[in-house]
Amino acid sequence: MKITEELIDHIAHLARLEFKGEDKVSIQKDMERMIEFVDKLSEIDTENVEPLIFMSEEVNRLREDEPKVTVTHEEALRNAPKKDSDYFRIPKVLDK
Amino acid sequence: MYRTIGDVQKAVLSGETVLSIAQAYLQRIEDHKHLNAFLEVFTESVLENAKKVDEKVKNGTAGKLAGVVIGIKDNICYKDHRVSASSKILEGFTSLYTATVLQRLIDQDAIVIGRLNCDEFAMGSSNETSAFGSVENNWKANHVPGGSSGGSAVAASANLCTITLGSDTGGSVRQPASWTGTYGLKPTYGRMSRNGLIAYASSFDQIGSFTNSAADAQLIYELSAGEDEMDATTSSKEVSNDKNAFPEKLKIGLISECVHHEGLDPEVRKNLSELIQKLIDAGHEVTEVSFPFMDYMVPTYYVLTTAEASSNLSRFDGVHYGYRSQDAKGVEQTYVKSRTEGFGTEVKRRIMTGTFVLSHGYYDAYYTQGQKVRRVLKNRTDDFFKNLDLLLLPTTPGTAFEKNAVKDPIQMYLQDIFTVHANLTGNPAISIPFKVHSNGLPYGIQLMADCFQEDLLFHGVKKLEELL
Q: Confirm or reject contact between A25 and chain B (CB < 8 A).
A: no
Whole-number percent of chain A with pLDDT over 70:
98
pLDDT digits (tens, 9 = 90+) for B359-405: 999 999 999 999 999 999 999 999 999 999 999 999 999 999 999 99
Q: How far is B28 from chain A (nearest CA, A)?
A: 32
How far the first Cα of chain B sits from its last, in Å, is 25
- Assess whether pLDDT exceeds 70 at residue B244: no
Q: Could A31 and B352 be called an inter-chain contact, meaning their C-beta atoms sit closer than 8 Å?
A: yes
Inter-residue contact B390 to B448 (CB < 8 Å)? yes
Burial class (CB in 10 A: 0-12, 13-18, 19+), B408: exposed
| pTM for the predicted model, two decimal places | 0.97
Residues forming a β-bridge with B206: B168
How does B205-224 read in b/e, with b if 16+ C-beta sit within 10 Å?
bbbbbbbbbbbbbbbbbbbb
Residues forming a β-bridge with B445: B394, B432
pLDDT digits (tens, 9 = 90+) for B297-320: 999 999 999 999 999 999 999 999
User: Which 95-114 residues of chain B touch chain A by CB within 8 A?
Assistant: 96
Q: What is the mean pLDDT of chain A?
A: 93
Instruction: Kindly report the number of other CB atoms within 10 A of residue B318's CB atom.
Output: 27
User: Which 262-301 residues of chain B touch chain A by CB within 8 A?
Assistant: 293, 295-296, 298-300
Residue type, A53: I
Instruction: Tell me what pLDDT residue A96 has.
Output: 53
Question: How many residues does the structure list for chain B?
Answer: 468
- Assess whether pLDDT exceeds 80 at residue B241: no
- Assess whether pLDDT exceeds 90 at residue B286: yes
- Containing B393, the helix (H) or strand (E) segment is strand B390-394
Contacts (Cβ under 8 Å, ≥6 apart) of A92: B329, B330
Choose among B302, B68, B300, B64: nearest CA to B200.
Answer: B302
Q: Could A40 and B296 be called an inter-chain contact, meaning their C-beta atoms sit closer than 8 Å?
A: yes
Q: Which residues of B are marked as active site? A: 73, 148, 172
Choose among B460, B382, B463: nearest CA to B421.
Answer: B382
